[in-house]
Structure 1
Amino acid sequence: MFAPVILFYLLFKYLPMFGVVIAFKDYNFIQGIMNSPWVGWKHFRMLFDNPQSLEIIRNTFVLGLLSIFVGFPFPIILAILLNELRKLWFKRVVQTLVYLPHFFSWVIVGGIVLTLFAQESGIVNHLMKGVTGEAYPFLYKSGSWIAIFLGAGVWKEAGFAAIIYLAALSSIDTSLYEAANIDGANKWRRIWHITLPGISSTIVIMFILSIGNVLEVGFDKVFVLQNPVVSDISEVISTYIYRIGIEGAQFSFTTALGLFESVVGLVLVLLTNRTARKFGQGLW
């Protein structure tokens, strides 16, 4: 039964790793991966000598870190709130509503965002015109664009991510809550002293995994929301690889950029896990 899983990872995860050799060659279709000329660290030097590449790496770090530190607490809060609901029918309705956005593609989410925040025809700006008399370019200002980008990510993924924490909450011994209630602890005290410590190991594991993906901001969610006006903050590694690597056919350079992204992610996971181990909460 485990054989298909092993086969999947061998074919689609480990075997493609051979392709990173393209980062050290001037790859072309005619000569192929093996026969393309070896250039060593040429593309990595180009990467760090190019101001545009450094700006894109900075943008990716900024959006990635903001996505983690803004979006990470929401599934935890949502799971705790759902766990405190006592009416089963209401809990099921809320769970369904907050899980549903996860199954929308980012094309649909992008369409919803444009419907809400478009400068000329957006619902929000239509209401603002009635109050202030003028529209605000939400999608064309860096600050508001980042806020919308983060908000869309939280709305789409927080509900589904809360499933893991709900599973962790179900393993907490209910007698602890009963004892705390007898001792006079109110609801907030029970959450702070029982619920959060009870799922702390799960929180640490999810945080370590999130830090490893700090540079994987995601192509689709950035691509559908970005526009040329805010390209100074919205152009990230994944969209840059698409434009330069796929459309511009600079395969070796973008492979070097992708390898740099993966190495940084690995280093961040190791450092975060090492820090967590000092508090007895490491992933390994």
Structure 2
Amino acid sequence: METKTYLNPKEPVIQKKITRKRSGVLQNFLKHKTLFLLGLPGILCFLIFKYAPMYGIIIAFQDYNPFAGISGSEWVGLEHFTNLFKDPDFFLILKNALVISLLNIVIFPVPIILALLLNELRSQIYKKIVQTIVYLPHFMSWVIIVSLTYLFFSSEIGLVNKAIEALGSGPLQFLFDSSYFYPLIVGQELWRSVGWGSIIYMAAIAGVDVALYDAAKIDGAGKLKQIWHVTVPAIVPTMIILFILQLGSTLDVNFEQLYLMQNPSNTHLSEVFETFVFKIGINGAEYSYSTAIGIFKSVVGLVLVLGTNYLANKKGHEGIW
């Protein structure tokens, strides 16, 4: 009879653990095979349209020629990344992206406040009407939202300026005065996203145990104290996860919004990586350089997500993993 010899005396134990783990994964798959099959189209879609195209990041390290293809293009290493940091417009674009992202983070609590207010409504009919009104802008394209902005704030036909003129004052150059640029884009983002962003918080609030509110009432807590001491702590994990995910897209701003709002008077504020990539990548055909910019943004987002998640776990909160 052949005897199996192990150089490491712990090897049989390790192999048993690996075998047990594999069998556990297989059992879990068989137990929930229906759920896995239901999720299969989404998984395949994610792999095909998210992971497979990542092969294209190779062109950031090449002098890519569409006619030669990836395999036939010249390899240039980190040249495009070096050119990016040497670009005189780089720090201006980086500053604009950070400022706009910071403004979007500042309005982060607004959907939370809206969800808390909606949760306190007792009339279901009124609640549904309000929800419909605040959710509706999310389904509008940025073309419509920017068109409405021009309709309201144009110096010639804008309804706001018409009202200002009716009060005896001259029209204000909302669209061509750079001092109004940030308030306009923040207002647009707030109007479009606040209702939709509150849905997740509404779902989190719905999962709060009613017994906690009953206990708070027995202790003499009013509505505000119930919200502060029961509702808010219950949705803190959701808030942290969404905040971490938002930080991951710090340098990602809305291309459609800024491109449509951009004009010669505010280019020094509205020029961000998305608009810059469009101009040099699509119009200028600098595919490798624009891909390098995309990788830089992704790396910054990854570092912020990992760092914020680490801090959240260190403080005793549950992060995204």
TM-score range, shorter chain: over 0.9
1:229 paired residue among 258, 265, 274: 265
TM-score (norm 2): 0.86
2:179 paired residue among 115, 131, 143: 143
* CA offset digits 1:35-61 (Å, max 9, x no partner): 110111111111111111221121111
Letter in 1 for 2:105: I
Letter in 2 for 1:275: L
1:24 paired residue among 61, 64, 70: 61
- Partner Cα distance (2:100, 2:71) in 1: 36
C-alpha displacement of 1:179: 2.2
Matched, 1:47 2:80: no
Secondary structure at the counterpart of residue 266 of structure 2: helix
Letter in 1 for 2:194: A
- Partner Cα distance (2:304, 2:177) in 1: 31
Where structure 1 has 5 or more consecutive residues not aligned to the other structure, the ranges are none
Matched, 1:239 2:275: yes
1:133 paired residue among 165, 169, 184: 169
Matched, 1:105 2:127: no
For residues 171-182 of structure 1, what are the structure 2 equivalents within 5 Å?
171-182=207-218
Where structure 2 has 5 or more consecutive residues not aligned to the other structure, the ranges are 1-37
Matched, 1:58 2:95: yes
Cα 1:184–1:124 change in 2 (3 A) is same
For residues 191-210 of structure 1, what are the structure 2 equivalents within 5 Å?
191-210=227-246
- Partner Cα distance (1:186, 1:137) in 2: 47
Conserved? CA contact 1:117–1:125, under 8 Å:
yes
2:223 paired residue among 151, 176, 187: 187
Q: Which moved more, 1:192-201 or 1:116-125?
A: 116-125
Higher CA-based Rg: 2
- Partner Cα distance (1:89, 1:206) in 2: 29
- Partner Cα distance (2:197, 2:75) in 1: 44
C-alpha displacement of 1:108: 0.6
Q: Which moved more, 1:140-149 or 1:188-197?
A: 140-149
Secondary structure at the counterpart of residue 265 of structure 2: helix
For residues 260-275 of structure 1, what are the structure 2 equivalents within 5 Å?
260-275=296-311
- Partner Cα distance (1:158, 1:229) in 2: 28
- Partner Cα distance (2:100, 2:125) in 1: 37
- Greater relative contact order (CA < 8 Å, ≥ 6 in sequence): 1
- Partner Cα distance (1:259, 1:140) in 2: 33
In structure 2, the partner of 1:81 is 117
C-alpha displacement of 1:221: 1.5
Letter in 2 for 1:245: G
CA RMSD of aligned residues (A): 1.1
In structure 1, the partner of 2:314 is 278
Conserved? CA contact 1:44–1:256, under 8 Å:
yes
In structure 1, the partner of 2:285 is 249
Secondary structure at the counterpart of residue 89 of structure 2: helix
Matched, 1:15 2:82: no
Letter in 1 for 2:195: G
* CA offset digits 1:64-88 (Å, max 9, x no partner): 1211222x11110110000000011
Letter in 1 for 2:204: A
Secondary structure at the counterpart of residue 81 of structure 1: helix
Q: How many residues align?
A: 283
- Partner Cα distance (2:115, 2:153) in 1: 29
C-alpha displacement of 1:225: 1.7
* CA offset digits 1:111-142 (Å, max 9, x no partner): 11111111221111111122252111112233
Matched, 1:122 2:158: yes
